[in-house]
Amino acid sequence: MVIQGRVWKLGDNVDTDQLVPGRYLSLTDPQELASHCLEDMIPRFHDLVRPGDIVVAGENFGCGSSREHAPAALKALGISCLLASSYARIFFRNCINLGLPALTSPEATAGIQDGDQVRIDVETGEIENLTRPFQCSAPPLSPFLVEIVNAGGLTAYVRDWLEARTPVSGEEREVHP
Amino acid sequence: MGMTMTEKILARASGRAQVRPGEIVQVPTDLVFGQDTTMPLAVIAFKHMGAARVFDPDRVAIVCDHFVPNATVLAAEQTKSLREFAGEQDIAHYFEAGRGENFGVEHALLPEEGLIYPGMVVVGADSHTTSYGALGAFASGFGSTDVAAAMALGEVWLRVPETMRFVYEGELGPWVGAKDLVLHTIGQIGVTGALYRTMELVGPVIESLTVDQRLTMCNMGVEAGAKNAIVPVDRETERYLKAVGVRDVSACNSDPDARYHSVTEIDVSGMGPQVACPSSPDNVKPLSEVIGTKLDAAFIGSCTNGRIDDLRRAARVLEGQRVSRDLRIVVIPATQNVYLQALREGLLEIFAEAGAAVSTPTCGPCFGGHMGLLAAGERVIATTNRNFVGRMGHPESEVFLSSPVVAAASAVMGQIAHPDEVVR
């Protein structure tokens, strides 16, 4: 999967409270969550972001609360890929589980500025800055994680697995959106 | 070759003789749980997975604690949906404020309910799930979809973490306790200091702490990025477990020849109270450097410091005092059992007489949900675990993290204060 998009550059230690503040945690609809994403840091972020945009962050991206509302909001906004120097572990798992590719590269973070156009090959980890001369490569995701991302996330991955394990009749099968 | 506690637990759970850091293991789960903000997403994912039944209803728990008693109509709808899910799935471990049995903040509640024991694997949809390492369990925080998968499959994949060993030695000074130790440690190693790793907390000082205090320390392991925090099982662990009715106590402590990522010795002698300043848990300073900082609010409670041990300490400072008229203080016992115990011991009367707003158990203001949020420009001293930008209200408000005794003394003085200024 090759992704090309405009970059939103964030700093170090961007926590999940900033991505979706606690006061909105009763919401579950990804679109509603998206409308509050980063609202205290970048006013009107949800209006300014375009589907396909890429978020590039520094160290410890997504630290703090385990709230999956945070990557769900980014995904609902159409963010296509995350790139960071490092991730907090729960946030990283959540991104993969939602099918949102998250690559790690301190080098890339240094060579990419806010607003740059960047092309990322998610499978090989090749990163090319189309705005200024810069390219590098991030370690590719492990095959298991690529499998989850390609399935569309852990929900679909487990669904496929459960269906393969216990075939159910058409009548009993739940309808998934 | 020897293994650490965490490696032993993961090896045993995954049916292997040995595991090494970096290996990916598929591990059966002994307890899977979530709370009222994370579990609704997990239930949606669980249903989309096409899963019919949870793997074992007795090994799943749902704790409604963040927005309870239901702060908004939306919160009421969420708890209702969780109550219905628990009913459909025969999940007996369903907890909600005011339902005739113990309830409260998950990480105080589940140990009290005897659901945590040494050597178990706990998967929680809450980052502070690290708390349960205080009882010798492997416990780590996950997102809602991971928890949905664990509910469906009864297992989870994990990368075996490297272990950082912290050895605490020396004599704890007066008014210095578990919160100061963990704040000091996070200040030393930073918010990424233990990223993806285990923090194993050992030494004579840890042995001298109650389980309540060990829970405070393990709770904040995640603030250094840790996957889990863990304390060896000893007589204090056994005392606690016996009191909450856990019979199966099989210790799984580290081997003498276990391999560590690092070993850090911390001499606590001479250490004073610590405060984490805005807006990161690693922005830690000795209390002496921030004394006199004006405050608008104080909060004593949360999964970090809302247990009976914490309330007893706070009451020692607040007894016979009145809080400053320039400030408001909220005190929230973490569970109904803690509330009742504090009531019997006269602690709630001490807080109420001092002028505190004393609430029924809830996470409330800690995560910026309800029950005492902050306006722009306001400052709070809180016994909680995070002081991120906007964590407890307006993005221009500020949170200082401290122990219960420092928060109590600060409430009396209207500014950040040492307990010695109040208790003479």
Q: Do B396 and B353 belong to one domain?
A: yes
The neighbour count for residue A8, using CB atoms within 10 Å, is 20
Tokens of B346: 């006269």
A138 Rama class: left (phi>0) / alpha (psi -120 to 50) / beta: beta
- Identify any residues that bridge with B415 across adjacent strands, giving them in sequence order: B294
Nearest-by-CA chain B residue for A72: B41
- The whole-angstrom distance between residue A169's C-alpha and the CA centroid of its chain comes to 35
Tokens of A126: 């090749």
Examine the fold and report which residue of B215, B236, B265 is the final residue of a domain before the chain moves on. B265
> Is the preceding peptide bond at A21 cis, omega within 30 degrees of 0?
no
What's chain A's length in residues?
177
Whole-structure pTM value: 0.96
Find where tokens 């499959």 sit. B153
User: Which of B66, B74, B388 lies closest to A64 in CB terms?
Assistant: B388
Nearest-by-CA chain A residue for B385: A64
pLDDT tens-place string over residues B90-144? 999 999 999 999 999 999 999 999 999 999 999 999 999 999 999 999 999 999 9
Selected for mutation to probe chain A from B26, B35, B36, B41 (highest A CB count within 10 Å) is B41
pLDDT tens-place string over residues A35-78? 999 999 999 999 999 999 999 999 999 999 999 999 999 999 99
Contact B145 A155 (CB under 8 A): yes
Nearest-by-CA chain A residue for B149: A158
The pLDDT value given to residue B108:
98
B345-359 average pLDDT score: 98
Nearest CA to B64 out of B363, B369, B300, B337 is that of B363
Contact A174 B196 (CB under 8 A): no
Q: Is the distance from CB of B148 to CB of B49 less than 8 angstroms?
A: yes
The pLDDT value given to residue B250:
79
The pLDDT value given to residue B172:
97
- Identify any residues that bridge with B27 across adjacent strands, giving them in sequence order: B156
Question: Does residue B162 register a pLDDT over 50?
Answer: yes
Contact B369 A22 (CB under 8 A): yes
Give the gap in angstroms from C-alpha A104 to the nearest C-alpha of chain B.
14
The pLDDT value given to residue B302:
98
Contact A97 B41 (CB under 8 A): no
The complex scores an ipTM of: 0.97
pLDDT tens-place string over residues B48-92? 999 999 999 999 999 999 999 999 999 999 999 999 999 999 999
Q: Is the distance from CB of B121 to CB of B158 less than 8 angstroms?
A: no
The pLDDT value given to residue B9:
97
Q: What is the largest CA-CA distance in chain A?
A: 57
Q: Give how many domains chain B has, as a whole number.
A: 2
Mean per-residue pLDDT of chain B: 97
pLDDT tens-place string over residues B360-377? 999 999 999 999 999 999
Q: How, if at all, do strands B357-358 and B328-331 pair?
A: parallel
Q: Do B213 and B318 belong to one domain?
A: no
pLDDT tens-place string over residues B207-261? 999 999 999 999 999 999 999 999 999 999 999 999 999 987 777 899 999 999 9
Question: Does residue B290 register a pLDDT over 90?
Answer: yes
More confident of the two residues A165 and B358 = B358
A158 touches chain B (CB under 8 A): yes
pLDDT band with cut points at 50, 70 and 90 for residue B13: very high
- Domain spans in chain A, listed from the N-terminal domain onward: 2-141
Pinpoint the alpha helices (H) of B26-176. Answer: 39-48, 73-88, 106-112, 144-153
- The whole-angstrom distance between residue B131's C-alpha and the CA centroid of its chain comes to 5
pLDDT band with cut points at 50, 70 and 90 for residue A165: confident
Contacts A176 to B, Cβ<8 Å: 48, 50
A11-28 average pLDDT score: 97
Give the gap in angstroms from C-alpha A54 to the nearest C-alpha of chain B.
22
Angle (CA) B249-B132-B41 rounded to 5° is: 125
Indicate the helix (H) or strand (E) that contains B138.
Answer: strand B138-141
Q: Do B207 and B290 belong to one domain?
A: no
Nearest-by-CA chain A residue for B197: A89
Q: Do B261 and B278 belong to one domain?
A: no
Q: Do B261 and B281 belong to one domain?
A: no
Examine the fold and report which residue of B215, B235, B265 is the final residue of a domain before the chain moves on. B265
Examine the fold and report which residue of B206, B234, B265 is the final residue of a domain before the chain moves on. B265
Question: Does residue A170 register a pLDDT over 70?
Answer: no
pLDDT band with cut points at 50, 70 and 90 for residue A166: low
Q: Which amino acid is at B133?
A: G
Q: Is the distance from CB of B373 to CB of B398 less than 8 angstroms?
A: no
pLDDT tens-place string over residues B295-310? 999 999 999 999 999 9
A69 touches chain B (CB under 8 A): yes
A129-154 average pLDDT score: 94
Contact B148 A18 (CB under 8 A): no
Instruction: State the Cα torsion B2-B5-B7-B8 to the nearest 10°.
Output: 80
Q: Do B286 and B177 belong to one domain?
A: no
A67 touches chain B (CB under 8 A): yes
Q: Which amino acid is at B205?
A: V
Contacts B72 to A, Cβ<8 Å: 26
Nearest CA to A16 out of A93, A88, A110 is that of A88
Owning domain of residue B396: 274-421
Find where tokens 């509640």 sit. B109
Q: Do B288 and B260 belong to one domain?
A: no
Distance between CA atoms of residues B298 and B136, nearest Å: 32
A60-69, A143-152, B281-290, B312-321, range with the lowest pLDDT: A143-152
Contacts A66 to B, Cβ<8 Å: 38, 125-127, 129, 141-143
Contact A89 B50 (CB under 8 A): no
Distance between CA atoms of residues B58 and A61, nearest Å: 35
Contacts B24 to A, Cβ<8 Å: 144
Contact A18 B145 (CB under 8 A): no
Q: Do B298 and B234 belong to one domain?
A: no
Question: Does residue B423 register a pLDDT over 80?
Answer: yes
The neighbour count for residue A71, using CB atoms within 10 Å, is 30
A155 touches chain B (CB under 8 A): yes
Contact A59 B153 (CB under 8 A): no
Give the gap in angstroms from C-alpha B373 to the nearest C-alpha of chain A.
10
The CATH number of A2-141 is: 3.20.19.10
CATH of residue B351: 3.30.499.10
Contact B195 A69 (CB under 8 A): no
The pLDDT value given to residue B157:
93
Nearest-by-CA chain A residue for B42: A68
- Between positions 109 and 128 of A, the ones with CB within 8 A of B are none
B163-182 average pLDDT score: 98
Q: Do B224 and B112 belong to one domain?
A: yes
Contacts A155 to B, Cβ<8 Å: 45, 48-49, 145, 148
Size of interface A-B (CB pairs under 8 A): 138
Nearest CA to A71 out of A51, A46, A48, A100 is that of A100
A84 touches chain B (CB under 8 A): no
Dihedral over Cα of B293, B299, B305, B310: its sign: positive
A96-118 average pLDDT score: 96
Phi, psi of B58 (to 5 degrees): -80, -10
User: Which of B50, B127, B191 lies closest to A65 in CB terms?
Assistant: B127
Contact B195 A21 (CB under 8 A): no
Nearest-by-CA chain A residue for B152: A158
Q: Do B40 and B189 belong to one domain?
A: yes
Selected for mutation to probe chain A from B23, B37, B362, B389 (highest A CB count within 10 Å) is B37
